[in-house]
């Protein structure tokens, strides 16, 4: 099976799983899944977040997702429990479609690592 086809199948499976689990079957988009990963990485699952917290959660998720690709490295957790990352390498300029594929690949990798999908 071609790499692109495998990524598409795993992505579709993951979207179905997460949508059923967290959105009552309403399909989650890429940003929604990134937000969920941020909440998971913060570990404060039952907390209500302000709008600026949501942006920070998405930043945490993006850093964590791109860490295996060598773009970020975990640095420390602050006194409020928020993880911080340092940038190791600047992301190359990507077109919107390329950016989307990179994030989907990183998300699939994350959930494979967590053994949520196979």
C-alpha distances in angstroms, 70 versus 87, 91, 105?
9, 10, 14
User: Which residues does 15 contact at the CB level (< 8 Å), separation at least 6?
Assistant: 27, 28, 33
Q: Is 73 left (phi over 0), alpha (psi -120 to 50) or beta?
A: beta
Instruction: Give residue 28's pLDDT.
Output: 95
Predicted local distance difference test score (pLDDT) of residue 3: 75
Closest CA to 72 of 56, 58, 61, 57: 61
Of the chain, the percentage scoring pLDDT greater than 90 comes to: 75
Q: What are phi and psi of 90, to 5 degrees?
A: -65, 135
Mean pLDDT of 66-89: 96
């Amino acid at each position: 099976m071609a790499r692109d086809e495998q990524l598409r199948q795993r992505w579709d499976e993951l979207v179905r799983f997460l949508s059923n689990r967290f959105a009552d079957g309403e399909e989650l988009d890429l940003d929604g899944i990134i937000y969920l990963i941020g909440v998971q990485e913060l570990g404060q699952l039952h907390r209500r977040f302000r709008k600026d917290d949501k942006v920070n959660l998405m930043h945490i998720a993006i850093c964590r997702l791109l860490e295996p690709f060598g773009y970020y490295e975990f640095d420390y957790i602050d006194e409020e429990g928020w993880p911080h990352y340092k940038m190791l390498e600047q992301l190359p300029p990507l077109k919107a479609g390329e950016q989307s594929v990179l994030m989907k690949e990183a998300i699939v990798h994350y959930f494979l690592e967590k053994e949520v999908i196979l």
